[in-house]
Amino acid sequence: MKTAVQYEESLRQLNFKVYLQGELIENPVDHPIIRPSMNSVKATYELAEMPEYEDLMTAVSHLTGNKINRFCHLHQSTEDLVKKVKMQRLLGQKTAACFQRCVGMDAINAVDSVTYEMDKKLGTNYHDRFNSFLLKMQQEDWTVDGAMTDPKGDRGLGPSKQADPDLYVRIVEKRDDGIVVRGAKCHQTGALNSHWILVMPTISMTQEDAEYAVSFVAPADAEGIFYIYGRQSCDTRKLEGGDIDVGNKQFGGHEALMVFDNVFIPWENVFMCGEYEFSGALVERFAGYHRQSYGGCKVGVGDVLIGAAALAADYNGAQKASHLKDKLIEMVHLNETLYACGIACSAEGYKTASGTYLIDLLLANVCKQNVTRFPYEIARLAEDIAGGLMVTMPSEKDLHHPVIGKVVEKYFKGVASVPTEYRMRILRLIENITLGTAAVGYRTESMHGAGSPQAQRIMIARQGNIAQKKELAKAIAGIPAKG
């Protein structure tokens, strides 16, 4: 396994082409806006080195029998699925941000079972190709970015009906040695902190969309791939040189638009090439795994936010107020409900034909449906407890100013025994998670990541088995089965 230091150095060896605020960035690793997101991924390597976290952060490879980072692992049991959620909660607690490797972990698990079933039915050899890549991924401890979401253009039209055919990633040429692809993937979490990109179709395809039914891997810095870095609320605070106003100086996340400008993919790296009838299964399984993930990572960040709100109450001198105690209890209740859903869909998982374990898809979708709501309420309660000062207090520079610093210190103090700086720090942390850069991962990603709320409701409708429930009611009520 890579050490945290080795991971950082491995990124420096890559030749990314990334644009940020209209400029081509020469050194993404050390750029002050990007660096905190790299630190979050780095934590997944750092914790894996610690004996006290070995059980959660590492696993035994089913390919080699060697110890590997759990983010490179295919789930071999329901215990693995449960440990995944616990690991994600731990990392959320340690970073209070998106640590970005979940998408790739969920992608490899989905691609594994689907390629196995594809080969069995069609006589292709995609699964062997995938296993060859997975072996290298485990040996090199690569961070892999799972790339699913296309720009989509006009949502009322399918991929092949778009005015611009590149609004979904597609195959533009098939050659003896591979394929050439063109298009883009949006909202790519942690792409610039990844070694490889694993591309999947974004929706279930039809025969007329066969050229869009494609899955493959490519080096993150491959020829023809470039990135446009996404803006985040309050992101330029990272350029100011301080550490209070950013709220979370060390850790963060990032999103990017990933563009494929006629990228060549050798056949050994292609896992789907026109087999449109399997695109739906791949989308469904990846989405299920990723919806399970949110029952871990968002809960860990929620733990930090609940702690910050409790400290804000302490520093405000309001910790004994019964209504604040009740709000903290409600925050814990909502957070643990999310965790319970993540654990439940894991414990109810089952073995697929390839041997990899899949979560209970219904419960995974219920988990994510709750995630689209509960973090927003937790954030609202945190803002309620924190008070208006969270968004009206002066800057860190004002606090340290030789003339007005003492005024800030005097008039923004809460409890006399608590330094004003501590109060400002905890309020900035709450602001960061609820309104600032971390709100991308904790709020908006909770809404739209792994599919928007309606996507889960569609899956719940499919898997809810209303017909069986009708029969249960008939039996209890004494109505004949055909009545």
| Total Cβ atoms within 10 A of residue 472 | 10
Going by the DSSP 8-state scheme, the letter that residue 227 receives in this structure is E
Catalytic residue among 115, 124, 189, 372: 189
Would residue 211 show up in a list of annotated catalytic residues for this protein?
no
Percent of the chain at pLDDT exceeding 70: 100
- Contact by Cβ (8 Å): 426, 219: no
- Contact by Cβ (8 Å): 82, 250: no
> Residue 343: phi, psi to the nearest 5?
-70, -40
Hey, CA dihedral for 259, 261, 265, 270, is it positive or negative? positive
Strand order in the sheet with 256-266: 23-25, 18-20, 225-229, 256-266, 178-185, 170-175
Q: Mean pLDDT throughout 132-154?
A: 98
Would residue 297 show up in a list of annotated catalytic residues for this protein?
yes
pLDDT of residue 144 exceeding 90: yes
Catalytic residue among 72, 273, 297, 367: 297
Catalytic residue among 255, 284, 383, 431: 255
Catalytic residue among 31, 45, 102, 275: 102
In angstroms, rounded to a whole number, what is the distance separating the alpha carbons of residues 248 and 95?
A: 9
Helix (H, G, I), strand (E, B) or coil at 212: helix
Query: Which pLDDT score is estimated for 16?
Result: 98
Query: Which pLDDT score is estimated for 482?
Result: 85
How does pLDDT run across 361-406, given as a tens digit for each residue? 999 999 999 999 999 999 999 999 999 999 999 999 999 999 999 9
Would residue 186 show up in a list of annotated catalytic residues for this protein?
no
Catalytic residue among 126, 276, 289, 294: 294
Q: Mean pLDDT throughout 114-133?
A: 98
Query: Which pLDDT score is estimated for 305?
Result: 98
Would residue 255 show up in a list of annotated catalytic residues for this protein?
yes
Query: Which pLDDT score is estimated for 360?
Result: 98
pLDDT of residue 483 exceeding 80: no
Query: Which pLDDT score is estimated for 23?
Result: 98
In angstroms, rounded to a whole number, what is the distance separating the alpha carbons of residues 310 and 428?
A: 14
Q: Mean pLDDT throughout 173-190?
A: 98
Q: Assign 407 a pLDDT band (cuts: 50, 70, 90).
A: very high
Residue 398 CA from chain centroid, whole number = 36
Q: Mean pLDDT throughout 420-446?
A: 98
How does pLDDT run across 231-279, given as a tens digit for each residue? 999 999 999 999 999 999 999 999 999 999 999 999 999 999 999 999 9
Q: Mean pLDDT throughout 443-455?
A: 95
- Contact by Cβ (8 Å): 437, 255: no
Catalytic residue among 98, 341, 345, 367: 98
Would residue 294 show up in a list of annotated catalytic residues for this protein?
yes
pLDDT of residue 349 exceeding 90: yes
Catalytic residue among 254, 290, 356, 383: 290
Would residue 189 show up in a list of annotated catalytic residues for this protein?
yes
Query: Which pLDDT score is estimated for 30?
Result: 97
- Contact by Cβ (8 Å): 148, 200: yes
Query: Which pLDDT score is estimated for 443?
Result: 97
pLDDT of residue 29 exceeding 80: yes
Query: Which pLDDT score is estimated for 38?
Result: 98
